[in-house]
Structure 1
Amino acid sequence: MRAIISPKYGSPDVLELKEVEKPIPAENQVLVKIRSASINFGNLVLLKGEPYLARLAFGLRRPKYPIPGGDIAGIVEAVGQNVKQFRIGDEVFGDLSACGWGSFAEYATAPEQALALKPANITFEEAAAAPMAGITALQGLRDKGKIQSGQKVLINGASGGVGTFAVQIAKSCGAEVTGVCSTRNINILQSLGADHVIDYTKEDFTQKSGKYDLILGVNGSHPISAYKRALKTNGIFVHVGGAETQMYQTLLLGPFISMTTSKKMSNLLQKSNQEDLYILKELLEDRKVKPVIDRSYKLREVPEAFRYFAEGHAQGKVVIAI
């Protein structure tokens, strides 16, 4: 089969399209003929090996997982003898980041717990755009953010992959949602149902104190003190992505702020799981959430897709049609 191989850490130039052996499913695995995949920030970390702390999980000197790609959507081609949930021909989607990655290829194997039946009302590309970004948004809002109906919620970095899901999921929870983006993305957030949109090139939301019950920081470079100022009493800030310095500030200073004030500051480490995948499936089927796709690339164009994604201006998701 054809697959994108990452033999060493580096830029997208290190990626190679090669013929490799087609995987054989173990007794508890499913073999999926992949129709589509997508790029997430985690893929960029796996490609570059940065921040260096990530190499403890991904391999110190070279990538532990040579075929990148986490999100997957495709058709079950074979199942191991102990697989109970899926049959040959089922359309599935899921996240392989916790079980070896490998979705930038024509086939991949995965434990059945990493997959769910694909929503019938969306395409394979839309399905592949959803798992990692959608579950990150869900866990950030629900688990870390403790979102409640009627709250004022701000999504910083609202026009990217996680952000577009977060806006829609927060709305489905009954929140009053403010999205922060650049001028060119205002219409996208309005179409997703955001109640308010702030153009960060014209206005700094952190200068207004005590406005939000929950802030999900998906992108940006504000210091943690600025996010703290924008929170209401008992408000919660959840760091999902953004500047590396911001991540370390939340890790180091967040616990101190949380213990000494009424405001809570925390980081999110997304954990893929089948239960949340089926919650996301229901949101997609009910049309409460719709994936936003910026561009689609072919398998041989994955290096080009990474270059575009790394620029940081994608509107929604970048997908790979296989």
Structure 2
Amino acid sequence: MKAIVCNKYGSPDVLHFTEVDKPVPQDNQVLIKVHAASLNYGNLVLLKGEPYLARFAFGLLKPKYSIPGGDIAGRIEAVGRDVKQFKAGQDVYGDLSGCGWGSFAEYVSVPEHALALKPENLTYEEAAAVPMAAVTALQGLRDKGRIQAGQNVLINGASGGVGTFAVQIAKSLGAHVTGVCSTRNVGILQSIGADHVIDYLKEDFTEKGQKYDLILGVNGHYPITAYKRSLKDHGTFIHIGGSGAQLFQTMTLGTWFTITGRKTMTSLLQRQNQSDLNFMKDLIEAGKVKAVIDKTFKLSEVEEAFKYFEQGHAQGKVVITV
């Protein structure tokens, strides 16, 4: 089969489109014919080996997982004898980041707990855009943020993959949502239901005096003190993405602010979760959430897809068609 192979850390130039052996499913695995995959921040970490702490999970000197790709959508071709939830011929989607990655290929074998049935109203490309980004947003809002109906929620970096899902999920859970983005993305946030959109090129939300119950920092350069200033008492800030300096501030100053004050400031590490995939399936089939796709690339064009994605300006998701 054809696949994208990465045998050393580096820029997208180290990726190779080549032939590899087709996998054989183990007793607890399903063999999937991949129709689509997508890019996430974790793909960049796996490609570059940065930050260096990530190499303890991904391989110290070279990638432990030679075929990258976490998000997946496709059709089951075969199942191992111990598989209980799925059968051949079913359409599925899932997150392979916790079980060896490998979706940038024509086929992949994965444990059944990494998968859920694909939402019936989505194409393969749309479904592949969902798993990691949507579950990250869900876990940030619901599990870490403990979002409640009627709360004022701000999403900074609202026009990217995680951000577009966060806006829609927060709305579906009854929150009043403000999205922060650049001028060219204002229309996207309005189209997916944001109650208010702040163009960061024209105004600084941390200087407006408005305070929020929950803030998701998906991107941006604001210091932790600026986020703290924008929180209500007993409000919560969750760092999901951004610079390494922001993460360091959240882990140090944020922890101190949380211990000594009345505001919670923490970070999120997304975890693969089948129940959350099923939760998102229900929201999507109910018409409450949709995938926003910026560009699609062929499997043979993954190098170009990475170069585009790492610029950090994608409107929604970047998808790979297989």
Q: TM (normalized to structure 2)?
A: 0.99
The residue number in structure 2 matching 1:318 is 318
Amino acid at match of 2:35: R
5 Å-filtered alignment, 1:148-163, equals: 148-163=148-163
In 2, the alpha carbon distance for the partners of 1:4 and 1:134 equals: 24
Deviation digits for residues 34-77 of structure 1 (CA, Å, limit 9, x no counterpart):
00000000001110111111111100100010100000000000
Q: Secondary structure at the match of 2:83?
A: coil
The residue number in structure 2 matching 1:48 is 48
> Structure 1 residue 64 and structure 2 residue 61: aligned?
no
5 Å-filtered alignment, 1:1-322, equals: 1-209=1-209, 211-322=211-322
User: Do the aligned residues in 2 keep the contact of 1:167 with 1:192 (CA within 8 Å)?
Assistant: yes
Q: Secondary structure at the match of 1:116?
A: strand
Question: How much does 1:210 deviate?
Answer: 5.3
Question: How much does 1:92 deviate?
Answer: 0.3
In 1, the alpha carbon distance for the partners of 2:177 and 2:119 equals: 26
In 1, the alpha carbon distance for the partners of 2:200 and 2:48 equals: 28
Question: How much does 1:244 deviate?
Answer: 1.0
User: Do the aligned residues in 2 keep the contact of 1:208 with 1:229 (CA within 8 Å)?
Assistant: no
In 2, the alpha carbon distance for the partners of 1:42 and 1:253 equals: 25
Question: How much does 1:14 deviate?
Answer: 0.4
Stretches of 4+ aligned residues off by more than 2 angstroms? none
Q: TM (normalized to structure 1)?
A: 0.99
- The runs of 5 or more residues in structure 2 that have no matched partner are none
In 2, the alpha carbon distance for the partners of 1:235 and 1:87 equals: 45
Deviation digits for residues 112-150 of structure 1 (CA, Å, limit 9, x no counterpart):
000000011110000000000000000000011110000
Question: How much does 1:208 deviate?
Answer: 2.9
Question: How much does 1:209 deviate?
Answer: 3.7
- The runs of 5 or more residues in structure 1 that have no matched partner are none
In 2, the alpha carbon distance for the partners of 1:177 and 1:153 equals: 5
Deviation digits for residues 227-281 of structure 1 (CA, Å, limit 9, x no counterpart):
0000011110000001110001101122211011100000000011111110011
- Over aligned residues, Cα RMSD in angstroms? 0.6
Aligned length: 322
Question: How much does 1:287 deviate?
Answer: 1.0
Identical pairs, percent: 69
Amino acid at match of 1:123: T
